[in-house]
Structures are given as structure tokens and as C-alpha cells.
Amino acid sequence: MKQLLLGFHAVQTASGAAEVIPIITVTNLARTMREMQELGVWLIGTDDQAHESIYDIDLKGPTAIVMGAEGEGMRRLTRETCDQLVHIPMQGAVESLNVSVATGVTLYEARRQRLGAKSAKK
């Protein structure tokens, strides 16, 4: 794995997060995903055809969120390597979200669950 150097526009778009979140690039995604699984990380892939909702699964443990490309979604091997596939429930005329919005919704739900678990222990 190599640390990814971001361009000016990517850093601006990240609104400060690029300085605090490690961003890496890998040459073989499926192999890296399997290595993460061996380390106990649960791989959750988002797919609009998945049966389970992002709101119905446990995201409190060691988890990696796998997002597909806009339009094409995840490649077959990437999808098959995920431990679980989930969808974001949609209402009304909206059929899907772009990948950046879907990532935000998914990360927010993971954070919400983790904060809820901590406050429940107090």
C-alpha cells in the first residue's frame, strides 16, 4: 500500500479531511480486501440490488465500507469478496444516490451506531 498524494482540487473538496484521514492506493483491491478480512475487518459493500438495508446491520465492529464506481457499481470480484452487501433505502422518485452522497450516508450510519453503543455503556 502506498500513501496517495492528492491534487489541489481533491484537497479543497475534502474540506480539511485530507489532512487527518489516511488515503492509500493499492495495486490489487481483491487481495487487499482478503488481507483485511484475515485481520478481522468485516467488508460491507453497497449495492442497490442488495437485500439488506444499511440500517439493519451492525457497523460497530472493525468494518471497511466498499463503494462501487458511479454508474457501473462494483466489479464482480470486489462484490464477491465483500462479507455482506447492503443498500441504502430510497423513497419517492429518487432511484439512487451518487457515490459521494452514498458514502456520506453510509459513514454517518456507522458513526451513529458507534456513538450509540458508547452512550449506552455509560
Q: Average pLDDT, whole number, for the chain?
A: 84
Give 54 or 21, the one with higher predicted confidence.
54
Residue type, 56: D
Burial 100-115 (b: 16+ CB within 10 A, else e): eebeeebeebbeebee
Residues written for the chain: 122
Q: How confident is the model at residue 26 (pLDDT cuts 50, 70, 90)?
A: confident
Which CATH architecture fits 28-121? Answer: 3-Layer(aba) Sandwich (3.40)
In the three-class reduction of DSSP (H, G, I as helix; E, B as strand; rest coil), residue 24 is classed as strand
- Residue 64 has a pLDDT of 93
Instruction: Give the pTM.
Output: 0.77
Which residues is 43 bridged to in the sheet? 64
From its phi and psi, is residue 91 left (phi > 0), alpha (psi between -120 and 50) or beta? beta
